[in-house]
A and B are shown apart, each in its own frame.
Chain A
Amino acid sequence: MEPGQVDEIQDLIRGEKEEAERSFEGQRFDTQLFERIHKSTGGRPATWLFFLRTPGPVMAFSVFVLVLAGFLLFRTFSSSPFQGTVRAMSAVLAEAGDGRRITEQGRMSRRIAGAEYTEFGWALKGVLYACERQSLGDVSLADALSPLFLEKASRAVSNQDGESASSPRVESPKLRTGEDFQMFFTGFLRKFEEV
């Protein structure tokens, strides 16, 4: 091969590349490429990455996460007198043995059925279960409470007439018998009314 011919080919290619390079803008190329990628990915990953790269949104996001975490922690660990009563009652029930099982069942069925029972609701159900010895998983709280409230509370009032106003047994953590639970329940309802 003639060397001159090869050089001519190389010169032509070099000339073409120089012409092409003049029209080639790296920034524009990258922008178009990014837009295409962004479009193809539905904006999801790229938006996420760019969100992370800009300090403003990162700060805002961090503050939001901190505020949310603080709020949740405050809500979890702060206790109102009412919540305190519920916790104390749950603890007593758990200690008595009956409450633990119903509470676990409650948590399980809450997870499975997605029912929105509060801690208070389940504590009440725990009491009702302890009093009546029957499952109340599918019974609404209002339906379960109303007859008991009417019957047991009236009995408690009649008992109260004969005894002192505040029974020391209500405060006792050792609730072994059905009578104890009934008394505890009546005391609880009274506190509930006060709250």
Chain B
Amino acid sequence: MISWPEGDGAFRVQTVPEISEVTRAAAEKEALFRSILENRKTVFWICLGYARDFVEAEELAQEVFFKAWTKIDSVRDRGRHREWLCRVARNTCLDYQKKRRLRRLFQGGFTKDARDIRTPETLAVYRDELRLLKSAVRALPRKLKETFILRGYGGLSYREIAAILEIKEGTVMSRLSEAREKIKSRMRGRTHGG
């Protein structure tokens, strides 16, 4: 089975220094990607915030890391690759949402939700409250939604979110507060409305 090898592969590559500069560059690229890949859980959580379920979230996370691999040369500051990755994740998820919206539009909006055709075990995972929460998050305006997901799901710090979204930390806090208010009111409204 093909899998990423354990340990520092770059070191082993450098034990053959005469091979070429190209190989060294490839090894550096791989080492950076390995560091990026350590954030797979964070990316998965962010994707979970945007996705309807964890299956979709995993697919999205795959897409994020694939994009990260293809665009890895655009990482300017290697020490801040986590922020760069989260930005890739956010953009990938936003693209995905756009595509999903378009798909719904073309399919007439009558397509069944993936959860409707799941097994009882899977359905049990998605409790009503959780469904309400996800629905409320989805209904948030884009700016509030991405801030809330990065914080609530991704667990990123205010500073990191501010860097990713290129806003001030104060704006992050105010957006989070607003997002929570909206989620709360929507959930309450849905619960009372049945």
A residues lining the B interface (CB < 8 Å): 1-2, 5-6, 8-10, 12-13, 15-17, 19-21, 23-24, 26-27, 29-38, 40, 45, 48-50, 52-53, 58, 62
Contacts and interface: CB of A to CB of B under 8 A. Distances in A.
A18 to B, nearest CB: 10
The 9 closest A-B pairs by CB, nearest first: A20-B54, A12-B133, A30-B4, A5-B184, A31-B3, A19-B125, A52-B13, A13-B152, A33-B65
A21 B4 CA distance: 20
B118 to A, nearest CB: 13
Interface of B: 1-5, 9, 12-13, 16, 19, 23, 26-27, 30, 37, 40-41, 44-45, 48, 54-55, 57-58, 61-62, 65-66, 69-70, 125, 129-130, 133-134, 152-153, 177, 180-181, 183-184
B153 A17 contact: yes
15 contacts: A9-B133, A9-B152, A13-B153, A16-B48, A17-B48, A19-B54, A29-B61, A33-B37, A36-B62, A37-B69, A48-B23, A49-B9, A50-B5, A52-B12, A52-B23
B177 to A, nearest CB: 7
- Chain A, interface SS category: helix
B66 A36 contact: yes
Contacts of B129: 8, 12
Given A12-B129, A17-B153, A49-B26, 19 more contacts: A1-B184, A2-B184, A12-B130, A16-B48, A20-B48, A23-B54, A24-B54, A29-B61, A30-B3, A30-B40, A31-B1, A31-B3, A33-B66, A33-B69, A34-B3, A36-B62, A40-B70, A53-B13, A62-B16
Contact of B44 (A6, A10, A24, A35): A24
- Chain B, interface SS category: helix
B5 A17 contact: no
Nearest to B66: A36
Given A19-B125, A20-B57, A13 B181 contact: no
A30 B37 contact: yes
Nearest to A6: B180
A69 to B, nearest CB: 12
Contacts of B16: 52, 58, 62
A15 B37 CA distance: 24
A49 B133 contact: no
Contacts of A35: 2
A97 B134 CA distance: 90
B5 A16 contact: no
Contacts of A8: 129
